[in-house]
Amino acid sequence: MNGLLLSAAAHRVGVEVVKFATTTALWLLPVLTIALTGSLTYLAGLSEVAATGGDLAGATSATNPQLYSAQPLPVEYQGFDMMNIGLILMIALGALYAGSEYRNGLLRSSLIADPHRLRLFATRAAVLAVVVAVTAIVAMGGGTVLRHLALGDQGLAPLAFPPLVWRNIGGVALTWTVLALLAFAIGVLARNAILPLVVIVPLSVGLGDFLITLWAPARFVPPAAGASLYTPADGTHLAAAAGAIVLVAWAGVAVVLAGIVFRRRDA
């Protein structure tokens, strides 16, 4: 009996993987994320070295006008400044993955193959979460290695990263995964890919941080909560542990709500 259940689950996952592999818009986004994040992170590292004259620790905007910020990022946080590029692409992936089922009757075909609506929804959400998490780990892990290679003697040894770097990589992976699931959930509720992009992308590219300066509870908005997991503590964002709890709560509520609605309404 258990073998049959595992076989059926593997078949459902396999169907969703085939959808990813045969839908250009879906598989291209993770590939672009890894390529763009890695290359731009490496180039930003070279630019950082050039701007600071090879002195990351001692350079400031007062002594070096080429710096855009007051001082370079601490070395443990080097490599995460490009994460918003991948974040936006993963939000788009979640939105497109939800919206694709409502184009050309694809949802009806999926329900014919697996008429258990809640099981189908859970499988799709789980596959999306795994794809985004793996993409984040590869993109940010590889990008961070490239960044420190670009920094040379000013960077960390790629094979001996301190725990904080790995925590930052995990924080990015959690943030990308949660926001992709939020986009997916909103896309299922709206039956299209547009609404989640309109709602989530602006919050992820600066609006969320801006709202914090006006309204303290905005720290609990998902992009702002996620920022606490891969940026230096600044007294404005939540603590890292609190940010992780908030993100998981957002993902749980959104996915459960979307699953209930998906189960009850017509295709």
Task: Note the pLDDT tens digit of each residue in 10-55.
Answer: 777 887 888 888 888 889 999 999 999 999 999 988 887 776 666 6
In this prediction, residues 53-82 reach a mean pLDDT of 63
In a domain, 57, yes or no: no
In a domain, 6, yes or no: yes
Q: Following DSSP, what letter does each residue of 112-167 receive, concatenated?
A: HH---HHHHHHHHHHHHHHHHHHHHHHHHHHHHHHHHHHHGGGS--GGG--HHHHH
In a domain, 199, yes or no: yes
C-alpha distances in Å from residue 246, one per residue of 68, 99, 227, 238: 31, 26, 12, 9
Counting the structural domains of the chain, the total is 1
- Bigger pLDDT: 153 vs 248: 248
In a domain, 230, yes or no: yes
What pLDDT does 243 receive? 92
Kindly report which listed range (57-61, 102-106, 175-179, 252-256) carries the lowest average pLDDT score.
Answer: 57-61
What pLDDT does 79 receive? 86
In a domain, 62, yes or no: no
Q: Is the dihedral of CA 173, 174, 178, 181 positive or negative?
A: positive
Question: For residue 48, how far is the Cα from the chain centroid?
Answer: 24
Q: How confident is the model at residue 214 (pLDDT cuts 50, 70, 90)?
A: confident
- Where residue 152 falls (left for φ over 0; alpha for ψ -120 to 50; beta otherwise) is left
In a domain, 106, yes or no: yes
In a domain, 243, yes or no: yes
In a domain, 48, yes or no: no
Structural domain harbouring 155: 2-39+75-264
